[in-house]
Amino acid sequence: MKKNRNKFVLIIVIIIISLTVVISILLKNLIANSKFTDDTISSNHAQISLENDQINVYKSTQTIESSKTKENTQSNREKKSINQDLELFDNKTVSASEFTHITEQIIQSYVGNFNGDLQIYFKILDNNQTYIDQGKSMYPASLMKLFLMAEIFDEIEKEEITYEEVEHLLIAMITQSDNYSYNALLEELIQVDPNGNPFMRIKELCDQYDFVETKPYNYFQETGFDFSYLAQYLPSYAFETSVTDLGRFYELLYKGELISPKASEEMLNLLNQQQRKSKIPFLLPEEAITYNKTGELDNFSHDSCLVKSPRCDYILIVMSENYDFDGSADYLIQKMSLSIYNYLNKTNTDALATE
């Protein structure tokens, strides 16, 4: 009986040990399978994450490329706009149609509204398009000082006169339109002319440069100079010039061909220092560089000017005799000058309308 009980206990122990082994094996397999599943899931998650990252990178790349495309498109539009602006502002060639618009629509509109004799010279220096509206020669007033200035520089080139002894007179005569200085410079010419005739010296220079409508036979009587003895040299009222002669004068200066390149440059410097700018330069913007000389007496009002603008350089000469004696010529010259400048430089087009 006791042996049977021991056998039974042994069998139970063996069964328990066997179950323990089986359970242990099952647990190991279960754990292994669980780990494999987790690794697979992690791997899948990693794969999905990688794919998402690739998608995000692709989307980011697409966004950057799209942004670059938009930027390039915008840049191209801006460049196109800038190029169009450059065509307007930096194109140095004034077309024939533009020139016709200036002469027929702008200049003529002012001429038609003026009660008096209005003579005009307008030239684009870059392509030689020229407009001249001129009748007979006109009383020049202080415009004659331009021709005396040129003659003085001619005498300086010939070493008949030194620049130092006349510099102050030239500055005052041109920049302030000082009459005393004009007469004092005539005195200088009297000293170097064999016949003591300063007017012939100026006339010879005018003939040399084809200023054929300019007659300089006069002096300004507002000062204390006694020039009565010069009456023998003064044909009756032979004191006149024309817009054509003045236009040629400025063109030669511009090209450095009046007297000499050095003399032309020095004369331009004097004109650029002009203090009397109440006509052609008056309404122009600061960017405009002007070289001008005015002339006025009673109902005569003139201005002559070389204008350097961003787009082109041009000459504008206006000589007027106002039959109304109301000072309207000065205002007309101001407005005409601004209208021409604005049209050439395509700015403030509202100002092109005449008033």
Give residue-wise pLDDT tens across range 212-221.
Answer: 999 998 877 6
Annotated domain spans of the chain: 96-346
**Which percentage of the chain shows pLDDT scores above 70?**
68
| pLDDT score, position 48 | 39
Give the tens place of pLDDT for each residue, 233-245.
555 547 899 999 9
> Comparing 131 with 233, which gets the higher pLDDT?
131
- Mean pLDDT estimate for the chain: 81
Give the tens place of pLDDT for each residue, 50-96.
344 443 434 444 444 444 444 444 444 444 443 443 444 445 689 99
Res. 326 pLDDT band, cuts 50 70 90: confident
| pLDDT score, position 228 | 53
Mean pLDDT of the 261-267 span: 98
| pLDDT score, position 325 | 78
101 to 97, 123, 151, 260, 348: CA distances (angstroms): 6, 14, 38, 36, 16
| pLDDT score, position 56 | 47
Radius of gyration of the chain (CA): 46
CB 123 within 8 A of CB 312: no
Instruction: Please tell me whether residue 276 adopts helix, strand or coil conformation.
Output: coil
CB 272 within 8 A of CB 290: yes
Mean pLDDT of the 229-255 span: 82
Domain covering 96-346 assigned CATH 3.40.710.10 in the classification: yes
Res. 125 pLDDT band, cuts 50 70 90: very high
21 to 12, 59, 62: CA distances (angstroms): 14, 56, 60
CB 106 within 8 A of CB 343: yes
